[in-house]
């Protein structure tokens, strides 16, 4: 019995010993190897498990271990992960090495990643922190000015509206010059698919992507970086990587911001008394006597003269709301990231708004150390409200500016005032009626999903196969109500667009290092892609009521059509990266693309490139004590293509809408060209990367030249063919420039840190050769050799004669008549340079960011001024409409020096007219400096959040488009009316006709980590 008791006692003691061992506690501090500062938020995990903790604000951690827990893994964003054996210790302090310090940070490139020190091509990266929570509907507007070579403009203030994006200049005339977007491996083309595209700002296909889901943005700028995408890389490539889960404690993040918006730089209009007085002056100059208009319009000195500010009715204070939630975490085998987003923006113009709801699930699963399976699923729904004819004679803004200021927009009974009952010829419709009663809605649905499998055949050899789907559906509905000035019967439009694109990519990658000096990274692959598009449109008229706008309620279908396109792409790709002794790097890339879009004789194209780099700072002769820390020289050369054209542009096509006598029929629509091939861009780049004073000052500079040949243009052909023209490869454009980027650590002392980032790009664009040299485009532009794209072709305004007050114009053809035959080349919309400048200040938990964005040298044809700055002209005996208040500074007597002529009632086509619609009288400098974003935030210390069970809490306030310094007289120097097609985005930029610019937006928000 004693023996049994002794045995039980020993057994119990053993269990107790095991229990004590299982409950071993280890603690310590995690600090920055370089600065010695604590690293809060560091993940501390037991290797092989999901058990772990995170460091507090002071970098301290405390973790219970179990039996068999032998290794801890320390990881934090911006630092190299470190594995540390426990070896029975209870105190483990760790110093993490910064990725930047070690120059081993990883940059996402095409089909993989590279260490920054091994990159020999021209690549820029934008971290998510640079555009997180910026109050815009799409991330592309938020990254404007953030990287050299990247030129982004917002043509209007329409919520959810499309941006115009170029990397190192526009490379085409008729095809797209927009870059290729790759979102988690899925290619996305940015184009206007709405049937409601005429004189309406297009919707932005990228607006459905939640900016808060984005981890990083990489911009591939030169041929070496973009050639891996072959026929789609000529305009550059933007790689978007979304967030994914990681092993460690689960994280729940909630973010919300709300704010208001208002119009900026609103052109001042005359009051009723100023307007009548101005018209009286015009009449007097024309010899009609004093106070000519008093009996018709009223006495300008009458204190009871009615006066209404139309802006108060059509412009409003906009609102913006954004809510984000994300949940992420995982183990070493299974990681996940889930997110949801709701965004709602009410525009600053009545009738405009955008709403989005989206969700994302990203999952990674590694059943063993040989296989990794990853999935991405993204679903979004967008709702767009725009205004019909926002850049047209029936636009809201242009009709508001021309409105007779003596009249309200709505009478005391709530009835819209008809402008034909006022004294304004230009006001064709009541602007509030256009904004509220005209309908232009678009509903967009998008699904992106991908599945990939990575097989680690050996530690050096990896096979990856992935499949992706991009599905997009768009439904448009437009309606012009009956009973008003544009139509007595009502006009309706219903359109649909649906596209589905699938892609399969298969790559084999080999990496190895030999003798510690020779690093090889080789990639080969084959990809397949197919895209199918279908569309339909129905136009109708003859509505019995404005309450039911369906085309089924119309009395007549005036047009009904549908169709579709299909294209396929098969590609073979290869890339070799070689680095010797961390000093010399070489990259060779080749891709062969076969596209169904081109002629039978040119289905395939090959796009090679190469680059070299020299890390001079790793040479033995480089002094260790030099103020130079890093020095790299780079050079690249290669050819890339552009296949962003219509899917059937090379084929002979027929239309089935050629009915006759009640019977269906077909007719030839387009002549085929079997020799049609790619627009090819040959690009060279020479760059240098320098780090001074332990990389406190980093400088990157590049010279580049893009030579695009084989432009797709219509060439005249004999009429005996039955056609007037044939699309062919004729033309050459060159973009040449210099990029400069600077990143500095200005002050780093104790808790205070001040850093700056600056970039600037100088660019020259020139049309070298076109088959249709001298072609006049849209009355105001010309396509001419030796000039840039979007070159203005206008009558030259010479000024105001100081003796007579008359406007003087150049009679270019010396025929004694000023008309369109006197137009000359008169500037262009291409900026000479553009860029951005950021300053970040941090002190303890406080952070202040100030970001300026600028552009210089571009010109804008402000055609809006034709409607409200025509110096008193009459049309059909009526004043054109109200006038810009600046017209009050007109010439008054001999000797006056001004650019505003004396007012006159002369018709615009009369020799006595004081203006010419298509003249440099309305051509302005579009240069600007914009305080784009100011953000002040505070992150609470971890200790103060423990009682609330919060991991993090940040509150902030920010202002977007706070101030704009410019001489431009319109709403916004970024606006552009012509945005409906690729050709317009290339050749017709810089025209403003009733376009409302970006808003000033003030928001407050918070981010909570649980």
DSSP state of 1010: -
CA-wise closest residue to 672 among 599, 578, 616: 599
The answer on pLDDT for 433 being more than 80 is yes
pLDDT at 22: 46
Specify the CATH number for the domain of residue 851: 2.40.170.20
Domain-located, residue 877: no
The answer on pLDDT for 198 being more than 80 is no
- Listed residues 83, 102, 121: the one ending a domain: 102
pLDDT at 390: 61
pLDDT at 12: 39
pLDDT at 648: 75
Q: Are both 96 and 146 inside the same structural domain? A: no
pLDDT at 473: 96
Backbone φ, ψ for residue 10 (5° rounding): -65, -40
**Cα angle value 430/435/440 (rounded, 5°):** 130
The answer on pLDDT for 7 being more than 50 is no
Tell me the pLDDT band of 5, cut-offs 50, 70 and 90.
very low
Residue 385: CB atoms within 10 A of its CB come to 18
Tell me the pLDDT band of 389, cut-offs 50, 70 and 90.
low
pLDDT at 3: 45
Taking phi over 0 as left and psi of -120 to 50 as alpha, with beta for the rest, 799 belongs to left
pLDDT at 737: 97
As a whole number of angstroms, the distance between CA 438 and CA 420 comes to: 18
User: How confident is the model over 704-727, as pLDDT tens digits?
Assistant: 999 999 998 888 788 777 777 888
Residues counted in the chain: 1010
The residue with greater pLDDT, 232 or 280, is 280
- In a 3-state reduction of DSSP, which class is residue 3? helix
CA-wise closest residue to 32 among 101, 86, 87: 101
User: How confident is the model over 86-124, as pLDDT tens digits?
Assistant: 988 899 999 887 654 444 467 889 998 888 888 999 999
User: How confident is the model over 523-533, as pLDDT tens digits?
Assistant: 999 999 999 99
Q: Are both 63 and 147 inside the same structural domain? A: no
pLDDT at 340: 98
**Number of compact structural domains in the chain:** 2
**Who's near 1: CB < 8 A, 6+ residues apart?**
none
Contact 954, 57 (CB under 8 A): no
Domain-located, residue 810: no
pLDDT at 17: 37
Q: Give the chain's radius of gyration (CA, Å).
A: 32
Q: Which residues of 35-63 are buried (b: 16+ CB within 10 A; e: fewer)?
A: eeebbbbbbbbbbeebbbbbbbbebebeb
pLDDT at 488: 94
Half-sphere exposure of residue 960, counting CA atoms within 13 Å on the CB side? 25
Q: Are both 89 and 223 inside the same structural domain? A: no
DSSP state of 100: H
CA-wise closest residue to 358 among 570, 479, 209, 245: 209
User: How confident is the model over 965-1003, as pLDDT tens digits?
Assistant: 999 999 999 988 888 788 888 999 999 998 899 999 999
Residue 23: CB atoms within 10 A of its CB come to 11
CA 538 to mean position of chain CA atoms: 31
- Listed residues 74, 102, 130: the one ending a domain: 102
CA-wise closest residue to 325 among 337, 335, 316, 333: 337
The answer on pLDDT for 11 being more than 60 is no
CA 573 to mean position of chain CA atoms: 28
Domain-located, residue 125: no
Domain-located, residue 14: no
Q: Measured over all CA atoms, what is the biggest interatomic distance in the chain, rounded to whole angstroms? A: 135
pLDDT at 531: 94
Q: Are both 79 and 155 inside the same structural domain? A: no
Q: Are both 407 and 511 inside the same structural domain? A: yes
User: How confident is the model over 833-865, as pLDDT tens digits?
Assistant: 999 999 999 999 999 999 999 999 999 999 999
Specify the CATH number for the domain of residue 66: 2.60.40.1120
Q: Are both 529 and 426 inside the same structural domain? A: yes
Domain-located, residue 311: no
Contact 246, 328 (CB under 8 A): yes
Q: What is the mean predicted confidence (pLDDT) over 672-679?
A: 86
Domain-located, residue 302: no
User: How confident is the model over 686-698, as pLDDT tens digits?
Assistant: 999 999 998 999 9
Q: What string of H, E and C letters represents the secondary structure of 113-158?
A: EEEHHHCCCCEEEEEHHHCCCCCCCCHHHHCCCCCCCEEEECCCCC
Q: Are both 84 and 191 inside the same structural domain? A: no
- pTM, two decimals, is 0.88
Q: Are both 328 and 409 inside the same structural domain? A: yes
- In a 3-state reduction of DSSP, which class is residue 982? helix
As a whole number of angstroms, the distance between CA 468 and CA 503 comes to: 5
pLDDT at 978: 84
Domain coverage including residue 27: 22-102
Strand 25-32 to 94-96 pairing: parallel
pLDDT at 341: 98
Residue 194: CB atoms within 10 A of its CB come to 23
As a whole number of angstroms, the distance between CA 430 and CA 416 comes to: 7
As a whole number of angstroms, the distance between CA 402 and CA 430 comes to: 10
Residue 660: CB atoms within 10 A of its CB come to 8
**Who's near 571: CB < 8 A, 6+ residues apart?**
230, 526, 527, 528, 529, 591, 592, 593, 594
As a whole number of angstroms, the distance between CA 635 and CA 688 comes to: 9
Contact 356, 342 (CB under 8 A): yes
Q: What is the mean predicted confidence (pLDDT) over 225-243?
A: 93
Q: What is the mean predicted confidence (pLDDT) over 121-133?
A: 89
Domain-located, residue 807: no
The answer on pLDDT for 8 being more than 70 is no
**Who's near 502: CB < 8 A, 6+ residues apart?**
467, 468, 469, 470, 529, 530
pLDDT at 391: 65
What are the CA-CA distances from residue 616 to residues 412, 583, 629, 694 (Å)?
A: 78, 7, 10, 15
The answer on pLDDT for 667 being more than 80 is no
- Listed residues 54, 75, 102: the one ending a domain: 102
pLDDT at 199: 66
The residue with greater pLDDT, 201 or 905, is 905
pLDDT at 787: 97
Q: Are both 526 and 635 inside the same structural domain? A: yes
pLDDT at 99: 58
Sign, Cα dihedral of 782, 788, 792, 794: negative
Q: Are both 156 and 65 inside the same structural domain? A: no
Q: Are both 39 and 186 inside the same structural domain? A: no
pLDDT at 35: 63
Backbone φ, ψ for residue 547 (5° rounding): -85, -25
Domain-located, residue 896: no
**How does DSSP assign 287-331, residue by residue?**
TS-TTTTHHHH--TT-TT-----THHHHB--EEEEEEEEEEEEE-
Q: Are both 373 and 460 inside the same structural domain? A: yes
Contact 790, 988 (CB under 8 A): yes
CA-wise closest residue to 165 among 121, 197, 134, 206: 206
Mean pLDDT score across all residues of the chain = 90
The answer on pLDDT for 549 being more than 90 is yes
**Secondary structure element (H or E) that encloses residue 744, with its range:** strand 732-749
């Amino acid at each position: 019995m004693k023996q049994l008791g002794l045995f039980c006692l020993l057994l119990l003691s053993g269990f107790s010993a095991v229990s004590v061992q299982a409950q071993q506690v280890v603690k310590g501090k995690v600090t920055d190897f370089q600065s010695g500062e604590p690293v809060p938020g560091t993940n501390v995990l037991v290797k092989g498990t999901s058990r772990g903790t995170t460091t507090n604000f002071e970098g301290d951690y405390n973790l219970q271990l179990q039996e068999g827990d032998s290794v801890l893994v320390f990881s934090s964003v911006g630092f190299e992960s470190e594995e540390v054996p426990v070896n029975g210790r209870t105190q483990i302090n760790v110093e993490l090495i910064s990725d930047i310090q070690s120059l081993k940070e990883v940059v996402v490139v095409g089909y993989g990643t590279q260490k920054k020190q091994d990159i020999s091509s021209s690549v820029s990266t934008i971290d998510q922190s640079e555009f997180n929570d910026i109050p815009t509907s799409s991330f592309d507007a938020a990254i404007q000015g953030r990287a050299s070579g990247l030129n982004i403009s917002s043509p209007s203030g329409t919520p959810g509206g499309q941006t115009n994006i170029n990397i190192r200049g526009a490379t085409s005339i008729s095809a797209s010059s927009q870059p290729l977007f790759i979102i988690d491996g899925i290619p996305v083309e940015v184009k206007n698919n709405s049937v409601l595209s005429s004189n309406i700002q297009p919707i932005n296909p990228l607006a459905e992507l939640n900016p808060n889901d984005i981890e990083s943005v990489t911009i591939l700028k030169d041929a070496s970086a973009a050639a891996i995408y072959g026929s789609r890389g000529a305009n550059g490539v933007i790689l978007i990587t979304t967030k994914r889960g990681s092993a460690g404690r689960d994280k729940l993040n909630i973010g919300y911001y709300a704010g208001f918006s208002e119009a900026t730089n609103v052109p001042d209009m005359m009051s009723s008394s100023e307007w009548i007085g101005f018209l009286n002056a015009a009449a007097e100059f024309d010899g009609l006597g004093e106070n000519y208009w008093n009996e018709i319009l009223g006495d300008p000195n009458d204190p009871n003269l009615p006066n209404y500010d139309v802006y108060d009715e059509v412009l409003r204070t906009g609102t913006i709301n954004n809510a984000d939630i994300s949940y992420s975490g995982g183990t070493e085998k299974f990681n996940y990231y889930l997110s949801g987003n709701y965004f709602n923006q009410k525009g600053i113009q009545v009738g405009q708004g955008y709403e989005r709801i989206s969700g994302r699930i990203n999952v990674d699963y590694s059943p063993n150390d040989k296989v990794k399976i990853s999935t991405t699923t993204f679903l979004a729904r967008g709702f767009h409200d725009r205004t019909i004819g926002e850049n047209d004679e029936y636009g809201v803004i242009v009709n508001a500016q021309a409105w007779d200021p003596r009249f309200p927009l709505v009478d005391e009974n709530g009835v819209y005032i008809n402008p034909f009952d006022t004294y304004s010829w230009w006001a064709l419709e009541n602007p509030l009626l256009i904004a509220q009663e005209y309908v232009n809605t678009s509903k967009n649905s998008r699904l992106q999903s991908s599945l990939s499998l990575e097989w680690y055949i050996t530690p050096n050899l990896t096979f990856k196969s992935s499949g992706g789907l991009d599905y997009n559906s768009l439904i448009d509905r437009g309606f012009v109500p009956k009973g008003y000035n544009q139509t007595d019967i009502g006009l309706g439009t219903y359109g649909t667009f649906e596209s589905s694109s699938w892609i399969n990519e298969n790559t084999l990658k080999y990496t190895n290092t030999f003798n510690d000096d020779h690093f090889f990274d080789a990639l080969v692959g084959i990809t397949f892609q197919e895209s199918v598009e279908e569309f339909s449109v129905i136009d109708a008229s003859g509505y019995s009521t404005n309450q039911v706008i369906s085309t089924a309620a119309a009395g007549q279908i005036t047009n009904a059509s549908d169709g579709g396109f299909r294209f396929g792409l098969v590609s073979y790709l290869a890339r070799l990266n070689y680095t010797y002794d961390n000093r010399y790097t070489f990259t060779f890339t080749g891709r062969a693309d076969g596209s169904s879009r081109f002629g039978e004789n040119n289905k395939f194209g090959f796009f090679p490139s190469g680059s070299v780099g020299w890390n001079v700072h790793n040479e033995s002769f480089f002094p260790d004590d030099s103020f130079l820390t890093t020095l790299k020289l780079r050079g690249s050369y290669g050819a890339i293509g552009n296949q962003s054209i219509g899917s059937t542009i090379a084929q002979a096509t027929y239309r089935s809408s050629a009915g006759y006598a009640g019977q269906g029929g077909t007719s030839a629509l387009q002549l085929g060209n079997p020799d049609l091939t790619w627009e090819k861009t040959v690009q060279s780049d020479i760059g240098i990367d320098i780090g001074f004073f332990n990389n406190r000052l980093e400088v990157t500079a590049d010279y580049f030249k893009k030579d695009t040949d084989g432009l797709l243009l219509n060439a005249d052909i004999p009429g005996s063919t039955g056609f007037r023209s044939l699309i062919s490869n004729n033309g050459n454009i060159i973009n040449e420039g210099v990029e400069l980027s600077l990143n500095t650590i200005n002050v780093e002392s104790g808790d205070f840190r001040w850093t700056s980032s600056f970039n600037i790009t100088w660019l020259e664009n020139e049309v070298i050769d076109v088959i249709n040299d001298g072609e006049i485009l849209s009355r105001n532009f010309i396509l001419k050799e030796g000039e840039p794209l979007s070159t203005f072709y206008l009558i030259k305004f010479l000024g105001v004669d100081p003796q007579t007050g008359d406007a003087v114009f150049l009679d270019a053809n010396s025929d004694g008549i000023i008309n369109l035959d006197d137009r000359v080349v008169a500037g262009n919309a291409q900026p000479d340079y553009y860029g951005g400048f950021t300053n970040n200040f941090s002190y303890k938990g406080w952070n202040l960011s100030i970001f300026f964005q600028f552009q210089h040298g571009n010109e804008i044809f402000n055609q809006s001024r034709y409607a409200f700055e025509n110096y008193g002209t009459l049309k059909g005996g009526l004043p054109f409409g109200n006038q810009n208040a600046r017209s009050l500074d007109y010439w008054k007597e001999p000797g006056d020096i001004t650019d505003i002529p004396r007012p006159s009632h002369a018709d615009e086509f009369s020799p006595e007219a004081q203006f010419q619609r298509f003249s440099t009288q309305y051509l302005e400098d579009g240069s600007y400096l914009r305080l784009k974003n100011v953000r002040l935030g505070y992150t609470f210390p971890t200790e103060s959040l423990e009682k609330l069970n919060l991991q993090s809490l940040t509150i902030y306030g920010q202002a977007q488009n706070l101030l704009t310094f410019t001489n431009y007289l319109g709403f916004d120097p970024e606006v552009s009316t012509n945005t409906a097609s690729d050709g317009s985005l290339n050749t017709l930029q810089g025209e403003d006709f009733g376009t409302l610019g970006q808003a000033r937006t003030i928001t407050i928000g918070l981010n909570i980590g649980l």
